[in-house]
Chains A and B, each alone.
Chain A
Amino acid sequence: MTFRDILGFVIDLDLLDRYGWRFLEGIGVTAQLVAISFTLGGALGLLLALARLSDKGPLRWLTGAYIYFFRGSPLLAQLFLLYYGLGSLRAFWTDLGLWWFFREAWSCALLAFTLNTAAYQAEIFRGAIRSVPRGQREAAAALGMHRAVTFAKVIFPQAMIVCLRPLGNELILMIKASAIASLVTIYDLMGVTKLAFSRSYDFELYLWAAVLYLLIVECIRRLWAVLERRLTRHLRAGDLPQPAQRNGLSRVTKTALKPNAQ
């Protein structure tokens, strides 16, 4: 009995031959879409968070409006606004030399997802940066450190640790949300599923997609947990060689280590 025979008990082999490869391609597309938009969104989100925390009124106000807009309306509406809305201004984009970008469904979806996740990540970063106690800033200032250095060396690393868990959640939310890219001609995992279903009308295909999405999300969740454990390794009292450092934990990092702290 070969592996194929065993597989045959669980899934329709004929369907697997016809669409198996396309499903793998679909996973690849979903992965790229999420990886790129999540990373770019992270960078943009960090900038937004800093602007949101700045002491310049208009900057705060503008970023606040941006974040409110992208968090308050559905991603689906944002995607359509970008793809069909802005995409209908061909002459305008051609004049600007940007039509190549708005022509492609891929780049439109990427932009919509990036702008959306940036708003959510900005709120995560903002909360984390604010959770670092004032005293840290004051101590750094007392040591004569420049504000930028203080942020890079003192505030940011501590904030990142607080961010880890919510960022992981946001990554998973993005993977799930990316399924709507299928509505604008992109063959991601969901798009491939719908295509295959439109040919065979076999409901089993939706169940494949469900299992694949669950596998992806579960893998990410576990990987993220490992990552989190590694990055907070130096904070776990039990693992520390020198007990003297135990008392060195700040209030922030302690909350970060509590299982349900968010």
Chain B
Amino acid sequence: MYKAILAAGICVLAMTSLTSAQEKKEIVVASEGAYPPFNSMDSNNKLQGFDIDITNALCEKMQVKCTIVAQDWDGMIPALLAKKFDAIVASMTITEERKKQIDFTDRYYRTPLSVAVPKDSKIKDTTTASMKGMSVGAQSSTTQAIHAEEVYGKAGAEAKLYPTQDEANADLANGRLDAVVSDKFVLVEWLKNAGKDCCKMLGDIEGTMSEAGIAIRKEDKDLKERFNKAIKDIVADGTYKKIQSKYFEFDIY
């Protein structure tokens, strides 16, 4: 009997992957895969998008081997803290609240928050007064979720939070939501494709210009410096511009 228990224990141990004390020659980077054009999944379940191209360019500059893994948005920061990976390149906005838990590199792009609405919407603009009584969707655990809850919600809107941006968009198209708040370029991309028949851009939200950075654990100071230097390098040598032109017609740095 004891032997059986022991054997089972060994089996469980063998199933976990033991990696030895790591020297940062290989880093594991996480992205989400539901936030086009920055990150999305192709039909073979491979990550693609601006975030992924930038990651590959940075890793090449730092001369390290990078493995990119997909991770659900809600679990991003907990999983980083739990050392499931070393960095997050997933269009994560640098905020003070997040900085209490984790650290960020310098920005790799900037974006304001914008609002998309159905084509026949009567909402005039993105001010809080216009959102009173409206149901406003956003992806949970994001800066836009906080905006939907704290700013619009306090002004009398009903904030509805979804696990992914895709689901919030689907419900705007379905007519369940009166508005969706998100990063501008994500909404622009969606309105060019799946959302083009149902919805339109209402406008940017004033004072919400924010920076997306690479998230890392606080103790990994060295990794942060290497990322920062690599970001500077790819901006300087034109790699950044080349990647950017694949996705956008304007400068987002």
Contacts and interface: CB of A to CB of B under 8 A. Distances in A.
Q: Do chains A and B touch in the complex (CB under 8 A)?
A: yes
A103 B158 CA distance: 14
A147 interface: no
B146 to A, nearest CB: 8
A251 B145 CA distance: 60
Contacts of B81: 201
Given A87-B174, A105-B160, A185-B161, A194 B140 contact: yes
Interface string B166-206: 01001101111000000000000000000000000000000
A198 interface: yes
Nearest to B175: A90
Most buried by B among A84, A87, A104, A201: A201
Contact of B101 (A104, A194, A201): A201
Contacts of A103: 175-176
User: At the interface, is chain B mostly helix, strand, loop or mixed?
Assistant: helix
B160 A90 contact: no
A185 B162 contact: yes
A59 interface: no
A216 to B, nearest CB: 23
Interface string A166-205: 0000000000000000010100000000110111010100
A88 interface: yes
B141 interface: yes
Nearest to B160: A185
B149 to A, nearest CB: 8
A77 to B, nearest CB: 15
Contact of A84 (B101, B140, B141, B170): B170
Nearest to A91: B175
Contacts of A84: 167, 170, 174
**Size band of the interface chain B makes with A:** 20 to 34
A87 B78 CA distance: 32
A90 B176 CA distance: 9
Nearest to B141: A198
Contacts of B163: 183
A206 B54 CA distance: 35
Interface string A209-247: 000000000000000000000000000000000000000
Contacts of B146: 199
A51 B163 CA distance: 40
A105 B101 CA distance: 33
A199 B101 CA distance: 11
Interface in B150-170: 160-163, 167, 170
A208 to B, nearest CB: 16
B74 A198 contact: yes
B77 interface: yes
Interface in B94-147: 97, 101, 137, 140-141, 145-146
A194 B74 contact: yes
B77 A201 contact: yes
B91 to A, nearest CB: 16
Given A87-B174, A88-B174, A203 B78 contact: yes
A118 to B, nearest CB: 25
Interface string B64-82: 0000000000100110010
Contacts of B97: 199
A133 to B, nearest CB: 45
A136 to B, nearest CB: 49
Nearest to A104: B176
A194 B163 CA distance: 10
Interface in A57-97: 84, 87-88, 90
User: 8 nearest interchain CB pairs?
Assistant: A198-B141, A185-B160, A90-B175, A201-B101, A87-B174, A103-B176, A88-B174, A201-B77
23 contacts: A84-B167, A84-B170, A87-B176, A88-B170, A88-B173, A88-B174, A90-B174, A99-B175, A103-B175, A103-B176, A105-B160, A105-B176, A183-B163, A185-B161, A185-B162, A195-B140, A198-B74, A198-B140, A198-B145, A199-B97, A201-B77, A201-B81, A203-B78
Given A88-B173, A104-B176, A185-B161, 17 more contacts: A87-B174, A88-B174, A90-B174, A103-B175, A103-B176, A183-B163, A185-B137, A185-B162, A194-B140, A195-B140, A198-B74, A198-B140, A198-B145, A199-B97, A201-B78, A201-B101, A203-B78
